[in-house]
C-alpha cells in the first residue's frame, strides 16, 4: 500500500480526443494497492486517513502511462532514415534490417533496445508490429515480460511483394501465429487484461494474397480476444498498387473488410488518403485508425485528414511508427499531430492541449480495448504512470514554472518534453525503467520506488 503524492493530469472521459476535458489534481494523492488505484483525493484528506508509505512525486507532473498504438519493433535501429517515400524506404531501409531478425541473437539485442526505448519515453502500453520470424516475436515477448510493459503484438505476415526471406505461406502463417498466441496471448480476465496479448498482423495488402488474409481471419477467430492490426492508405503509390493487386476489391479497406478482419478490435495505421466510403466502413465497424504524424511527414505520405475521420465518427489514436516515425516519444507525435492540422488551415482539425493528452493516453486505451484498466488515473485503474520531472535548468522546467494554467502546462509538455524529462515510469505500480535508462539528476533522488 502506498500513497502517491503529486500533481496529476489526465483526460478520463470521452470517446474522442477532440473536445477532451483536462482533469487537474494539485497536491493530490492516489492510494495504490497491489498496483491498482483504490482511492483518489487531496493529499490532506488521504494522508489524514492512512499511514501508508508515501511516494513523493510533487516536483513535476504525473501523467497516465502513454499508449503507442503503432510501433515497429525491428526498426529501432533504422530511425532517422529520411529522404525516401514509403515503398522505396521499405526496400532500402526497413526491410533489409527486418531480414536480420532471422538471427535470434540479433533479435535479442534489438528487443532490448526497443523495449527500453518505449519505457524510457513513458510508453507503458503498446500495439507493436512484431517481426516476420516467429523466433524474433518470442524474443520480443520475453523482453516485454521481463520489463513488465503491456504489449499486444504478433507475427508479421506477407506472402508476396517483399524480399523472399520475409515471405511465408498462408498455412505456415496460421500455424506459427497459433503457436505464438498459445505461448503469449493472456486472455482478458474479469476487470484485468493480461500484459501480453496476440495481434494478427498482415504487414499490408500490398504484401498479402487473399489466401493469406483468409488465414489471418482464421487466427483471429481461433484466438478469442486477439486483436488485428495492419497498414492502410498510406501512400498514393502503395494505394495504386493495391488496386491492381486486388482488382475485385472496392478499395483498400475492402481488401481487409471482405475477409472479416475489420471490427472494434482492429487498428489500421495511417489512412492518409481514405475515401468517404472507407471512412463510413471504418466507423460502422468500430475500427480505429492509428495516426502516425512524424512518419507521415518523414516519408512525405501526406497530411492526415483528421477532420474527415472525426466527422465520420472513426476512432483515432496515435502511433510513433518507429522507425519511419522519428522516435519513441509520443509527446513529439502529439506536437506533430497538432502541427499537421495547423498547416492544413481551414481544412485542419484544431487540437487543444487536452486533446493531445487524450490522444496519447485514453484514445490509445480505447483503441486497444484496455480502457477499463489504463489510460487515466481514476479509482479502479492500474497505476500506470509517468513522472515528468525536468532538470532545474531545462527549457521544460522553465516553461512549466511560468505556465499560467494546467492547460498551458500540458501545451508546454507537448512542445518541450522528451525522454530526458521522464524521471519515473510505472506499470501496475512496478517501476519499469531500469538502472541504465533512468535519466540522471544530480540534485534529486530517483523516484522509481514501487508503490
Task: Note the residues at the interface with ligand GUN (CB under 6 A).
Answer: 72, 86, 90, 94, 203-204, 231, 234, 295, 321, 324
Q: Binders of Zn ion: how many residues, by CB under 5 A?
A: 2
In the bound state with ligand GUN, the residue whose beta carbon lies nearer, of 9 and 94, is 94
Q: How far apart are CA 4 and CA 178, in angstroms?
A: 41
In the bound state with ligand GUN, the residue whose beta carbon lies nearer, of 158 and 177, is 158
Interaction partner, residue 234 (ligand GUN, Zn ion, none; CB < 5-8 Å by kind): ligand GUN
Q: How far apart are CA 23 and CA 159, in angstroms?
A: 47
Please check whether residue 121 is in contact with residue 328, taking contact to mean a CB–CB distance below 8 angstroms. yes
Residue 358's contacts (CB-CB under 8 Å, 6 or more residues apart) are: 11, 14, 16, 17, 20
Please check whether residue 376 is in contact with residue 12, taking contact to mean a CB–CB distance below 8 angstroms. yes
CB of 86 to ligand GUN, least distance (A): 6
By CB atoms closer than 10 A (0-12, 13-18, 19+), residue 259 is buried
CB of 90 to ligand GUN, least distance (A): 6
Please check whether residue 238 is in contact with residue 296, taking contact to mean a CB–CB distance below 8 angstroms. no
- Chain mean position to CA 29: 27
CB of 269 to Zn ion, least distance (A): 5
In the bound state with Zn ion, the residue whose beta carbon lies nearer, of 269 and 356, is 269
In the bound state with Zn ion, the residue whose beta carbon lies nearer, of 269 and 357, is 269
Task: Give the pairing type, strands 385-388 and 422-427.
Answer: antiparallel
Name residues contacting Zn ion, limited to 312-371 (CB under 5 A).
321
Whose CA is closest to 64, among 15, 113, 30, 41?
30
Classify the C-alpha dihedral 116-119-124-125 as positive or negative: negative
Instruction: Give the contact letters, 250-269, x = binds to Zn ion (CB under 5 A), - = no.
Output: -------------------x
Interaction partner, residue 40 (ligand GUN, Zn ion, none; CB < 5-8 Å by kind): none
CB of 74 to ligand GUN, least distance (A): 9
Instruction: Give the contact letters, 89-108, x = binds to Zn ion (CB under 5 A), - = no.
Output: --------------------
Interaction partner, residue 306 (Zn ion, ligand GUN, none; CB < 5-8 Å by kind): none
CB of 349 to ligand GUN, least distance (A): 22
Q: How far apart are CA 223 and CA 237, in angstroms?
A: 34
Interaction partner, residue 94 (ligand GUN, Zn ion, none; CB < 5-8 Å by kind): ligand GUN
Consecutive H or E run containing 431: strand 430-431
Q: Which residue has the cell 498510406?
A: 234
CB of 302 to ligand GUN, least distance (A): 12
Q: How far apart are CA 387 and CA 389, in angstroms?
A: 6
In the bound state with ligand GUN, the residue whose beta carbon lies nearer, of 161 and 431, is 161
In the bound state with Zn ion, the residue whose beta carbon lies nearer, of 14 and 303, is 303
Interaction partner, residue 381 (Zn ion, ligand GUN, none; CB < 5-8 Å by kind): none
In the bound state with ligand GUN, the residue whose beta carbon lies nearer, of 196 and 301, is 301
Beta bridge partners of 385: 64, 426
In the bound state with Zn ion, the residue whose beta carbon lies nearer, of 138 and 271, is 271
Which residues of the chain form contacts with Zn ion (CB under 5 A)?
269, 321
Amino acid at each position: 500500500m502506498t500513497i502517491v503524492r503529486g500533481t496529476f493530469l489526465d483526460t478520463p472521459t470521452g470517446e474522442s480526443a477532440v473536445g477532451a476535458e483536462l482533469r487537474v489534481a494539485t497536491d493530490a494523492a492516489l492510494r495504490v494497492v497491489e498496483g491498482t488505484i483504490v482511492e483518489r483525493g487531496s493529499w490532506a484528506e488521504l494522508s489524514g486517513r492512512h499511514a501508508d508509505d508515501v511516494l513523493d512525486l510533487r516536483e513535476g507532473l504525473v501523467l497516465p502511462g502513454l499508449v503507442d498504438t503503432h510501433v515497429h519493433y525491428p526498426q529501432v535501429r533504422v530511425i532517422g532514415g529520411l529522404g525516401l517515400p514509403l515503398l522505396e524506404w521499405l526496400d532500402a531501409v526497413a526491410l533489409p534490417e527486418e531480414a536480420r531478425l532471422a538471427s535470434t541473437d540479433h533479435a535479442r539485442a534489438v528487443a532490448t533496445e526497443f523495449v527500453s526505448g518505449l519505457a524510457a519515453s513513458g510508453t507503458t502500453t503498446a500495439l507493436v508490429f512484431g517481426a516476420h520470424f516467429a523466433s524474433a516475436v518470442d524474443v520480443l515477448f520475453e523482453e516485454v515480460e521481463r520489463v513488465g510493459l503491456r504489449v499486444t503484438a504478433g507475427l508479421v505476415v506477407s506472402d508476396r511483394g517483399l524480399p523472399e526471406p520475409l515471405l511465408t505461406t498462408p498455412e505456415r502463417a496460421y500455424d506459427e501465429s497459433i503457436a505464438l498466441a498459445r505461448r503469449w496471448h493472456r486472455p482478458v480476465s474479469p476487470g484485468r487484461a493480461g500484459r501480453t496479448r496476440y495481434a494478427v498482423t498482415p504487414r499490408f495488402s500490398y504484401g498479402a494474397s487473399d489466401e493469406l488474409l483468409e488465414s489471418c481471419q482464421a487466427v483471429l477467430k481461433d484466438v478469442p480476444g486477439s486483436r488485428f492490426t495492419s497498414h492502410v492508405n498510406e501512400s498514393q503509390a502503395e494505394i495504386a498498387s493495391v488496386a491492381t493487386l486486388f482488382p475485385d476489391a472496392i478499395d483498400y479497406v475492402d481488401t481487409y473488410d471482405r475477409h472479416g478482419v475489420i471490427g472494434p478490435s482492429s487498428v489500421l495505421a495511417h489512412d492518409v488518403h481514405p475515401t468517404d466510403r472507407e471512412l463510413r466502413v471504418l466507423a460502422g465497424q468500430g475500427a480505429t485508425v492509428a495516426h502516425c504524424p512524424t512518419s507521415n511527414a518523414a516519408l512525405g505520405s501526406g497530411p492526415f485528414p483528421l477532420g474527415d475521420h472525426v466527422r465520420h465518427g472513426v476512432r483515432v489514436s496515435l502511433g510513433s511508427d518507429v522507425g519511419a516515425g522519428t522516435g519513441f516519444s509520443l509527446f513529439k507525435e502529439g506536437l506533430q499531430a497538432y502541427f499537421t492540422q495547423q498547416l492544413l488551415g481551414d481544412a485542419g482539425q484544431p487540437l487543444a492541449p487536452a486533446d493531445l493528452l487524450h490522444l496519447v493516453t485514453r484514445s490509445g486505451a480505447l483503441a486497444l480495448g484496455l480502457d477499463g484498466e489504463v489510460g487515466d488515473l481514476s479509482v479502479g485503474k492500474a497505476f500506470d504512470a509517468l513522472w515528468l520531472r525536468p532538470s532545474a535548468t531545462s527549457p521544460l522546467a522553465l516553461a512549466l514554472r511560468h505556465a499560467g494554467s494546467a492547460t498551458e502546462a500540458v501545451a508546454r509538455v507537448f512542445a518541450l518534453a522528451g525522454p530526458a524529462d521522464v524521471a519515473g515510469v510505472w506499470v501496475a505500480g512496478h517501476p519499469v525503467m531500469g538502472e541504465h535508462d533512468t535519466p540522471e539528476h544530480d540534485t534529486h533522488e530517483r523516484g522509481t520506488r514501487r508503490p
